[in-house]
Structure 1
Amino acid sequence: MDFWSRLLAHTPLSSASSRKDFAKDPARRLNRFEKEYSQLLHTWRNSSNLAHDDDAAEIIEIRLQELTSILSDESRRPLPHPCIAFSAAKQVYLPVAKIATSSFNEWIIKEAVLFFATLIESEEEAFVENDSFAGSLTNLLVRITGANSIRLSADIEARIVELAFNITTKIRLNPEILPAWFKSQHQVPQDGKPLDEHDKFTGRTQKQDFPLFYLLIDYIHHEGKVGDFARTGLLYIIEAASTSVLLEQWIVESDLSTLMATGLGALYSQLSRKLVIDHPANDLPPILAFSDYEHPKSNYEIVSSCSTEFQSHLDTFLSHLLFWQDVLNHCKSVEVKSTLLEHFQVIFLQQLLYPSLLESSDVDGGSSVAVLTYLKRILESVDHPDMINLILHYLLALPDAVPSVPSDSRDIVSAARKRKSMDLATMMASKSETAADPLLFNLVDLIRACLRSQNNQTVNVTLQLVSVILKRHHRYAVTTLLYTEGVLGESSNRTWGAHEQEVEYFMTLADTIGGQDDFNEVYQNVLKDTSVRLENHPCSIKLVTPKTSTNNRELPAEPDSLPGAPRDVRTHTLNPDDPMLNIMLDRLETFFLNPVETNLSLTEALFDLAVCGYMHLEGWFLRHPQGYVYDEDDEDGPPLPEPALDADSQESAEYSRVQSLQECHRRPRWGQSRLPRFLRVLQNLCDQVVAYRTSVPRFDDLLQQRREAFQIADNVTPNPLPVRTRTPVSHSPGTLGTPSIERSYAHDESRNPSREPPSGLEGFAHRILSELGTPSRSGSPRGRMESRRVISDRNMPGPGLAPSGTVSRSFSPASVSSTPGSWDHSRSDVAVANQAKAFQAVDQSILARKVGLPEIKPPVEAIKLSYDRKPIVVPASERDDADGEEGNEAPEEGEGGGEDALLAPSENGDDTDSSTTVGEKTVSVSHVLTNVIVFQSFLFELASLTQVRAGLFGEVRFV
């Protein structure tokens, strides 16, 4: 037994030892390589047809594997490398390429590609510089990927494209090897004479000039690593054009720009023409789950944004758009870049994107939603200033730059670009006869029309598009989307007294809504968010960058300072009659009846209007200093005695300065008629909240429960609410210590398209509501299940609960038992459970009822400021005159109006607000509660915006 064991063990051991000896000895290794190569040739020559000779194909595959293995092993060993030298001297790669191209065998092709890759990776014998090697490999790659080749697997295609990418990497590192792979048929004239007419118009590029280039172009639309290798390799080739005039001319004359533009257009055409914005039923954000949100209907023609197929098409289109941006970033040739941009404008913008905007409609099932969403995603994704300038310059119909002077340059590349431009103009001449022009109907007209739409989804996506332009490309919005006016000097800046008064006004409005939470920590987060947004705005770079530094570095160049782009943004303010502002304010007036998504986008757009550091807030956002009126007895301190000093003396100047300082600290009289419309609308909305509070039973309790429901959802689900990204930054010098706010829920996922949709909850909302003792998602969470909760049952009919005026009942065991001495735990538990169900039923009935806009009670004589030394007096007459409303007296309890009128069942038996007129829009009380929380968050954001801007941009006058 030991004999046979030693015998069997001896054979593989000796074989392994023999292989190691062959590998260590260069001569024996070469002998083995030559033997494998000879057997490969012998099998190939004796086979009449490898495509049908399976045995021969298998032998060739094995021999190629052995050759590749020997070369790979040798490249890792010390010199000498006789096998690699033999491959170069005998040109072993020539028959290997012929065998692979004629075999039509997927496995042989794979081994041949690995063989060539091994030779290139060896970095010996200058394979990549050898014309014969380059021609053989190029022929192989073209033949196996051509139309007449067999269908290759994804793995083999990835290896082929990776091999091409490795070659472009070596070209990038060593441009001297480019002539081996690029054979231009057009030579630069030696005598320097201009090209004749025949040469000018027949400059066409053939694929055989640079087959590797076209191989990569064929794969740039693929996903995964195949597309990544192809796109990156093509970028390297374009980058190498800066070192070769011939390659630069060839790229300009090639159909690269046409293929890229038409490819982008084809991907855009695959996107659905009609779209509805929706959220997955199992991933609904809580802020929508706690509202009257309804999933829009989709069908075979109208696609939902949640569709996996739609998301795939959109991602593919955007990735190719980003490839355009990468190409322009890597391209160092002005002529190549100009050619690409020209084709991008003519083929994509003029022939596809603008016509789709022009033909869109909000009454045909979502075509406006679709094209505006695509434009929004384009402007969110692209950062290259040339592409942004082309898109917005054309769509906004901005005036063209100064016409370029015709160049008499004999530069061959410039001449090639001119020929290409003329060919493009000729190709598009027939199509442009009936094409529309943005001068007649541009993007501004479309946005204003869509903001007035009756389709909430159209309004929502349009507001998001406006926000993107204001945040990322504000320079293009000035004088186009917005009616702006120049501001001269600092006289238009608000005074310190007025600034304090206005910040406290926002805080007081928010305090009107109320709440039981401590908002200090949350307000600090909002201040930080506001500081980050202001500092990162593209127009604020010069304002926030220190003017002096120790290293004397210059300020960063403006990214949009390009020919045809708007010049630097100067100090300006928004005209109060601006159409877009007033359209937004019209939407703001019906805030509590609006869909929550619309309110989220609306508050974001209004916030973005005031973010630019060059935008003055006075006049449209805040009061204008020209309207300040002071009371004679409104002095912060005793008047300074005027000394008898010389007018030119230093003491007189100091006295004037102190007097001016004291004057700027005075607080102007608060008159409703002198407020901008924006502030009046905010006040009116707060009055509506007060009216809801007096009309809706237990309004404050239900509002607090809704707040707690959001907090629970925030803790249970990862990133459940679409809130702004919290970035820890240092406290801005302008963020003064004012009262706090609750966490902002007023921002949806459209603010950050790159973020994954929040995991939220159509079913989760119901679970939260049921756990807290409330109905369904049309209701609101009941809040804490406390054993001693006092609930007023006035006007709350329910099982076993008769109206009893203002009598309150304590939700405790003592309230269930009639006599303390007869307390029984089993009976008390049942009684407590029954009473809890009764209160839940009451909450359900309240939350599910429909309400409209409430009847606002007469305005109060003064608003009590919790954080002010003096109240802001608001005469009722002024508010009535400003708002055009008559001050009717508030109805007494038990009389008409109030909660009885708002919540009493209608005569038809439905649970609808009987005070609303026929056809008036109504929403549930639950929907109103969610919008109230959004509105309160918006108020505190406005306070933080006013506060941070004062310190960051120095907008407040102290003297």
Structure 2
Amino acid sequence: MDFWSRLIAGTSLAPAGNKGSSKDPEKRLARFKREYSQLLQTWRGASNLARDYEAAENIRDSLQDLTAILSDESRRPLPHPCITFASSKQIYVPIGKIATTSYNEGIIREGVALFATLIDSEEEDFVENEAFSRSLMNLLVRITGANSIRLGSDTEVEVVELSFNITTKIRLDPEILPAWFATQDREEPQNGGQGSHEKFTGKTQKEDFPLFYLLIDYIHHEGRIGDFARTGLLYIIEAASSSVALEQWIVESDLATLMATGLGALYSQLSRKLVIDHPLDDLPPILALSDYQQPNTTSEIVSSSSPDFQMHMETFLSHLVFWQDVLNHCKSSEVKSTLLEHFQVIFLQQLLYPSLLESSDVDGGSSVAVLTYLRRILEALDHPDMIHLILHYLLALPDTTPAPTGSRASVSAARKRKSMDLATMMMATQVDTTSTPALFNLVDLIQGGLRSPSEQTISVTLQLVSVILRRHHRYAVTTLLWTSQVLSDGPVRTVGAHEMEMDFILSLAGGVGGDDNFDDIYDNHVKDCMSILESHPCSITLVAPKSAGGTTKFPGSLASIPGAPRDIRPHTLRPEDPMLKTLLTIMTTFFTNSVETNLSLTGTVVDLATCGFMRIDGWLLPDPTKYVFEEDEEETEGFISFGISDCIEDQELAQLQSLKKARRNLDWTRSQIPPFLTQLKILVDQVSTYRNDIPRFDDLLQQRREAFQAASSATATPIPIRSAAPPRSSFESPSRSSSPPRPSALDSLAQRIFPELATPSRSNSPRGRRSVEKSSSGLSGGYGFATPTTSRSAVPPPQFPMNTDSASRAHSRAFSPSPLRGADPRNGVPASQAAAFAAIDQSILARKVGLPPAKGAVPPIPFPNLKAPVDEGSKESSVDGSISGTDERAEAKTGEKLVTVNHILTNVIVLQEFLLELAALVQVRAGLFGEVKYV
């Protein structure tokens, strides 16, 4: 019948059915009553809807028709008799019972749709009707409870979306709140009855505000359902500021407990042991062009690149950000204080700090794990109160007595009762409180991490220090750093001293060598430093435009909790600062450090010098109070000898003398240079030593720069690689031949950029033979292997050109003498000899070296004679296991860490970029903060 009705609807043969009845209010009401009566009759006649499928289908159709009539009527002009009938007869009460007891998802979904239609009609005050709210919440609680059927994702989204719509109406009209929230009088139990833990968790309060708890159950979900639940809960918390009863109820409810324990549960799911790892198929070029090796992982030690770990980490951080959103939307100081108190007691004191206290390097990466987690927490948060609680507690800052909050006595009493319940629960759980940050705090952990023998621990510790310095510098001034206050009327750096300091730093960068356009590189560093300095949270008060009163305040940037650092004053590092000494110690082994350690180290130094209130004179640059200028007595006496009596001319002469005095040059031989600049000079001198000792050092260094450029452009669109077993290095000792070596990180990068490198024998392929001819095309530079291949006559691939005398470098400084220069088939050099040159360059890159020895000492591992290629069977130049054995024996004998020349080249480029960034930072600070005196 339904098919034929649809087929002939609207024609002259069709009876005055749905179309006519929908226009006529009386006919529409009659049809609505008929459908409703049929629904009740079918329900009463069915014994069990879960098994009577025909009756369940008829009820679902009737509910669908009722919803369609109501939805159509709400869009038509008045009158609306069906909506009035639904309100007067309270049809939602039996419909709610039908949906609740049906255990049929189709009926449940149509029942939820009918309730949503009545709410959306905005008539008859459904949303303000207590009977309507009780029927709806009874339905929603029963169908989402533990004993209900498992709802589909679409149905769950509709349920939570309906709940969200209700919170939206409560937010717009707080007068409807009593219909959904009503406290009930309860008698206090006598001598037990209800345990302290049950009282603390608020189990007896769910019936007061079931909508509230329904949303809490879904705040951890992903997608639309989680967004609806979190936003709806935020709207309820925001409405607490206009209702004293709701505010008191939220304070005494288990909202704070559930949120804190949920956050703790997510934190506990994170692995206790972690190693920082990068997949070989997605390795950053700067790590691939070094001695990077993937760390070992086990069932307990998890890799940071693991998809499961990343999923758990993102889930934990998303819930942490939800905490922040709740505090941002909460306008009630009492609710906010309750949330923060539970965050500190349950999460900070019982979970985060114990994990920091129990971390160690000897158990396989627990220090790396907890330091990484703390860094991610500080990076994810920007709410000043949460940041203050974390750093104030972990850094063991002195506590202050909080001022009483809340102007209403009832709310304050509720806060007091909740605090007492929290303390009682902590005592009942018998938590060990003997270890506190007063005995071992975050500063101790950081200092221990920086002195760790594990480079991964040093790297992640430096990254944590960088985050604190960059985002929360005011907490580091009196804890991580030993600082002294700088007087505003003290000596200022003169423009002459500034120019000499800039020349010194830039000359260090130039001393490293190279042929790139360093002007463009330096300009990019200047732009980056300008952005970093202007966005620093401390420096914003120095660069922001002043108000009419001459001051600029940023009220949202400070914590509202008593005891938070308020103002930061000009300061500088003391020479005996432990952090500075530790950084200098790590810098002494710069070239043998891992690239990750050096990147973290240089980033920490830059972050240390970024704050506008941190004066860099004294620890980074020479102290103005200890300047020693070059003698310039003759010109000074020439100015004074003029006999000028006019007052204006005297002022002009004094001004000229002040200008001349400000432009005097420093005497670097007699001035006290900070240890930091001295260490940078030592590193550049070590580069010169490498240049003298390592053949073709400048050629290889220049090609390494080009390799970075080619790798960065090629990795923008990764190329699928062919799987091939990596060849065993001829530098490996025979004892290691039984187990296959791990693939080289650089091999993986080269294979990603150039698929042809995955072929087992590149030397025999036509592409390999033509590689030297393509060397001047500028595709890339640098060598791609940490160890040479087993084929001694292998020709380097096209991204590793052998030509070093291209026209683009004709103007460069003279390279170290080597007969390998000019080895180009275009100059008449046979291809076989070019292949021998390539093999020798590969052996140079694979050679292991240590730090340059002191003056007068003998290098522990001298380079073999590589001045000319010889027969590959010769003992002196053969790249077999004997040389590798020499490296291993020397490293074991001297105890010195040895790295490949390939690794040294990458660290040299890191050093040069750091010097250019340092010079740009000094220059931008001088102009942005007015740190230079011109007169």
Please indicate, yes or no, whether the TM-score normalized by the shorter chain is above 0.5: yes
Residue pair 2:699, 2:804 contacting (<8 A) in 1 also: no
Give runs of aligned pairs for residues 165-314 of structure 1, distance below 5 A.
165-185=164-184, 206-314=205-313
Distance 1:659 1:201, change over 3 A: same
Q: Which residue of 2 aligns with 1:923?
A: 899
Deviation per CA, 1:183-224, whole angstroms, max 9, x where unpaired?
A: 11259xxxxxxxxxxxx9999851111110111111111122
Q: Which residue of 2 aligns with 1:128?
A: 127
Q: CA deviation at 1:11?
A: 7.2
Q: Which residue of 2 aligns with 1:943?
A: 919
Q: Counterpart of 1:670 in 2: which secondary structure?
A: coil
Distance in 1 between residues matched to 2:23 and 2:524, nearest whole Å? 68
Q: Which residue of 2 aligns with 1:710?
A: 708
Residue pair 1:539, 1:614 contacting (<8 A) in 2 also: yes
AA paired with 1:386? D
Matched, 1:955 2:931: yes
Distance 1:63 1:405, change over 3 A: closer
Distance 1:69 1:663, change over 3 A: same
Q: Which residue of 1 aligns with 2:768?
A: none
Distance in 1 between residues matched to 2:431 and 2:378, nearest whole Å? 26
Q: CA deviation at 1:55?
A: 1.3
Matched, 1:778 2:801: no
**Which runs of no fewer than 5 residues in structure 1 stay unpaired?**
1-5, 188-199, 721-759, 792-802, 817-830, 857-886
Distance in 2 between residues matched to 1:558 and 1:670, nearest whole Å? 46
Distance 1:804 1:445, change over 3 A: closer
Residue pair 1:205, 1:250 contacting (<8 A) in 2 also: no
Q: Which residue of 2 aligns with 1:748?
A: none
Residue pair 2:470, 2:607 contacting (<8 A) in 1 also: yes
Give runs of aligned pairs for residues 400-549 of structure 1, distance below 5 A.
400-401=399-400, 403-404=401-402, 411-429=409-427, 431-547=430-546
Residue pair 2:99, 2:139 contacting (<8 A) in 1 also: yes
Q: Which residue of 1 aligns with 2:840?
A: 842
Q: CA deviation at 1:465?
A: 0.4
Q: Counterpart of 2:564 in 1: which secondary structure?
A: coil
Q: CA deviation at 1:228?
A: 1.2
Q: CA deviation at 1:268?
A: 0.7
Residue pair 1:36, 1:66 contacting (<8 A) in 2 also: yes
Residue pair 1:847, 1:924 contacting (<8 A) in 2 also: yes
AA paired with 2:699? D
Distance in 2 between residues matched to 1:85 and 1:425, nearest whole Å? 53
Q: CA deviation at 1:653?
A: 4.8
Q: CA deviation at 1:907?
A: 10
Q: CA deviation at 1:499?
A: 0.6
Q: CA deviation at 1:125?
A: 1.5
Q: Which residue of 1 aligns with 2:381?
A: 382
Distance in 1 between residues matched to 2:821 and 2:47, nearest whole Å? 102
Q: CA deviation at 1:785?
A: 4.8
Distance 1:275 1:804, change over 3 A: closer
Q: Counterpart of 2:484 in 1: which secondary structure?
A: strand
Residue pair 2:848, 2:900 contacting (<8 A) in 1 also: yes
Q: CA deviation at 1:24?
A: 2.7
Deviates more, 1:249-258 or 1:630-639: 630-639
Distance in 2 between residues matched to 1:278 and 1:16, nearest whole Å? 74
Q: CA deviation at 1:409?
A: 7.3
Deviates more, 1:528-537 or 1:657-666: 657-666
Q: CA deviation at 1:397?
A: 0.4
Distance 1:635 1:38, change over 3 A: farther
Distance 1:814 1:417, change over 3 A: closer
Q: Which residue of 2 aligns with 1:606?
A: 605
Q: How many percent identity over aligned positions? A: 60
Residue pair 1:71, 1:84 contacting (<8 A) in 2 also: yes
Deviation per CA, 1:318-345, whole angstroms, max 9, x where unpaired?
A: 1111111111111111111111111111
Distance in 2 between residues matched to 1:635 and 1:953, nearest whole Å? 34
Q: Counterpart of 1:539 in 2: which secondary structure?
A: coil
Distance in 1 between residues matched to 2:390 and 2:568, nearest whole Å? 19
Q: CA deviation at 1:495?
A: 1.2
Residue pair 1:593, 1:921 contacting (<8 A) in 2 also: yes
Distance in 2 between residues matched to 1:658 and 1:315, nearest whole Å? 62
Distance 1:277 1:16, change over 3 A: farther
Q: CA deviation at 1:684?
A: 0.7
Q: CA deviation at 1:309?
A: 1.2
AA paired with 1:602? L
Residue pair 2:544, 2:552 contacting (<8 A) in 1 also: no
Q: Which residue of 1 aligns with 2:910?
A: 934
Q: CA deviation at 1:493?
A: 2.3
Give runs of aligned pairs for residues 653-692 of structure 1, distance below 5 A.
653-671=651-669, 674-692=672-690
Distance 1:158 1:354, change over 3 A: same
Distance in 2 between residues matched to 1:290 and 1:350, nearest whole Å? 43
Distance in 2 between residues matched to 1:204 and 1:144, nearest whole Å? 19
AA paired with 1:682? L
Q: Counterpart of 1:573 in 2: which secondary structure?
A: strand
Distance 1:809 1:329, change over 3 A: closer
Distance in 1 between residues matched to 2:598 and 2:243, nearest whole Å? 56
Q: Which residue of 2 aligns with 1:329?
A: 328
**Which runs of no fewer than 5 residues in structure 2 stay unpaired?**
187-198, 719-747, 763-770, 772-779, 788-795, 808-815, 868-875
Residue pair 1:575, 1:620 contacting (<8 A) in 2 also: yes
AA paired with 2:752? F
Instruction: Tell me which of 872, 884, 889 is aligned to 1:910.
Output: 884
Distance 1:558 1:408, change over 3 A: closer
Q: Which residue of 1 aligns with 2:752?
A: 764
Q: Which residue of 1 aligns with 2:723?
A: none
AA paired with 1:390? L
Q: Which residue of 2 aligns with 1:744?
A: none
Deviation per CA, 1:798-828, whole angstroms, max 9, x where unpaired?
A: xxxxx99758544134424xxxxxxxxxxxx
Matched, 1:812 2:811: no
AA paired with 2:909? I
Q: CA deviation at 1:897?
A: 5.9
Distance 1:776 1:519, change over 3 A: closer
Residue pair 2:29, 2:82 contacting (<8 A) in 1 also: yes
Q: CA deviation at 1:582?
A: 1.1
RMSD: 3.3
Distance in 2 between residues matched to 1:580 and 1:212, nearest whole Å? 52
AA paired with 2:906? T
Residue pair 1:396, 1:442 contacting (<8 A) in 2 also: yes
Residue pair 2:785, 2:842 contacting (<8 A) in 1 also: no
Distance in 2 between residues matched to 1:601 and 1:407, nearest whole Å? 43
Distance in 2 between residues matched to 1:807 and 1:716, nearest whole Å? 29
Residue pair 2:710, 2:781 contacting (<8 A) in 1 also: no
Q: Counterpart of 2:302 in 1: which secondary structure?
A: strand
AA paired with 2:295? P
Q: CA deviation at 1:645?
A: 6.6
Q: CA deviation at 1:507?
A: 0.8
Deviation per CA, 1:522-580, whole angstroms, max 9, x where unpaired?
A: 2222111100100111111121012356x989443361254211131100000121111
Distance 1:588 1:252, change over 3 A: same
TM-score, normalising length: structure 2: 0.84
Q: CA deviation at 1:26?
A: 2.5
Q: CA deviation at 1:764?
A: 2.0
Distance in 2 between residues matched to 1:805 and 1:254, nearest whole Å? 79
Report how many aligned residue pairs link the two structures.
Answer: 841
Residue pair 1:706, 1:783 contacting (<8 A) in 2 also: no
Q: Counterpart of 1:674 in 2: which secondary structure?
A: coil
Q: CA deviation at 1:281?
A: 2.2
Q: CA deviation at 1:381?
A: 0.6
Larger RCO: Structure 1 or Structure 2 (Cα < 8 Å, ≥ 6 residues apart)? Answer: 1
Deviation per CA, 1:214-271, whole angstroms, max 9, x where unpaired?
A: 1111111112211111111111000000110110111111111111111111111111
Q: Counterpart of 2:538 in 1: which secondary structure?
A: helix
